[in-house]
Amino acid sequence: MAIKVTVWNEFRHEKNSEEVKAVYPNGMHTVIAEYLGKEADFDLKTATLDEPEHGLTDDVLNNTDVLIWWGHMAHGDVQDTIVEKVKRRVLEDGMGLIVLHSGHFSKIFQALMGTTCALSWREAAEKERLWSVMPQHPILEGIPLYFELEHEEMYGEFFDIPTPDELIMLSWFKGGDVFRSAACWVKGAGKVFYFRPGHESYPTFYNENVLKVIKNGVRYVNAPAGMSKIDHRNAAAPIEEL
């Protein structure tokens, strides 16, 4: 059965900045969706902020197994009702969620983490080296023990997230910082995967390792086909004699 993937992008930088447009003329979501679309069992859609309901109508959400989220300059423009729907879909139905880069400050990520999700940052086009600390994790299938991005925005600790259920990669930055760059959390019936790279000014989403991690992430956060529906009326378990 196909995995229904929706790539959501704020899609503002690509329209407002010549520099960004040069790198992603049709938006980052298009580049990601094209790569993922090569998987025979992935069924791809995209959605963006400025579409009605941000492209996340009930019909789209109910037909999404895994949602990928990139946002940055317009987190505040995302309607709370849509955020609430996405959250419910993760917690109650087990929709998988992958949050990329500056999505760390999105309403949906903050709501699911329960923390500020604040971090340190620096734009200096510096080198990033990503190290595996859980090499047997399915998200790292086909990924070397480390790989590099020549130019990226720096994200540094302290990163205000809850303790990850799985800490998968750490980043080294040339300027002197480290970061927990790939991490997963179980949330209700669903799984959330945060992956750090992806500044809009750099061609990060053309990097083969970055793309592979996202592809593996889709398979990982997708709920098992035969998952038992969580039913909180299940106190209906037969009561032992008291």
37 binds its own copies (CB under 8 A): no
- Extract the tokens encoding 152: 């990226």
Which residues, 175 to 204, sit near its own copies by CB under 8 A? 175-178, 180, 185-191
Q: Which of 15, 16, 58, 118 binds its own copies (CB under 8 A)?
A: 118
Report d(CA 207, CA 240) in Å as an integer: 57
Taking the complex as a whole, how short is the minimal distance between the CB of residue 189 and its own copies, in angstroms?
5
Total of residues contacting its own copies (CB under 8 A): 78
Whole-number Å distance between alpha carbons of 203 and 200: 8
Token pair 């059965």 is found at 1
Per CB under 8 A, 105 contacts its own copies: no
Give the neighbor-by-neighbor strand order of the sheet with 178-187. 42-48, 3-9, 66-70, 96-100, 190-195, 178-187, 166-173, 120-132, 146-156
State CA 241 to chain mean position distance: 47
Q: 121 and 157 in contact (C-beta within 8 Å)?
A: no
Figure out which of the listed residues 50, 77, 165, 208 binds its own copies, where binding follows CB under 8 A. 165
For its own copies, which is the closer residue by CB, 73 or 178? Answer: 178
Q: Does 84 bind its own copies (CB under 8 A)?
A: no
CB of 184 to its own copies, least distance (A): 10
Interface with its own copies by CB under 8 A: which range of 5-13, 20-28, 33-41, 229-237?
229-237
99 pairs with which residues across the strands? 69, 194
Taking the least distance from each CB to its own copies, the nearer of 26 and 120 is 120
Contact present, 56 and 82 (Cβ < 8 Å): yes
- Count other C-beta atoms under 10 Å from residue 39's C-beta: 15
Q: Residue 15: which residues within 8 A CB-CB, separation 6 or more? A: 21
**Cis peptide preceding 158, ω within 30 of 0:** yes
Give the contact letters, 40-79, x = binds to its own copies (CB under 8 A), - = no: ----------------------------------------
Q: Which stretch binds its own copies (CB under 8 A): 13-21, 37-45, 64-72, 129-137?
A: 129-137
**How do 42-48 and 178-187 pair as beta strands?**
unpaired
Choose between 50 and 160: whose C-beta lies nearer to its own copies.
160
Q: Which two tokens stand for residue 22?
A: 């040069």
Q: Which is nearer to its own copies, 14 or 177 (CB)?
A: 177
Report in angstroms how near the CB of residue 209 gets to its own copies at its nearest: 11
Q: Of the listed pieces 53-61, 63-71, 86-94, 193-201, which binds its own copies according to CB under 8 A? A: 86-94
25 or 138: CB nearest its own copies: 138
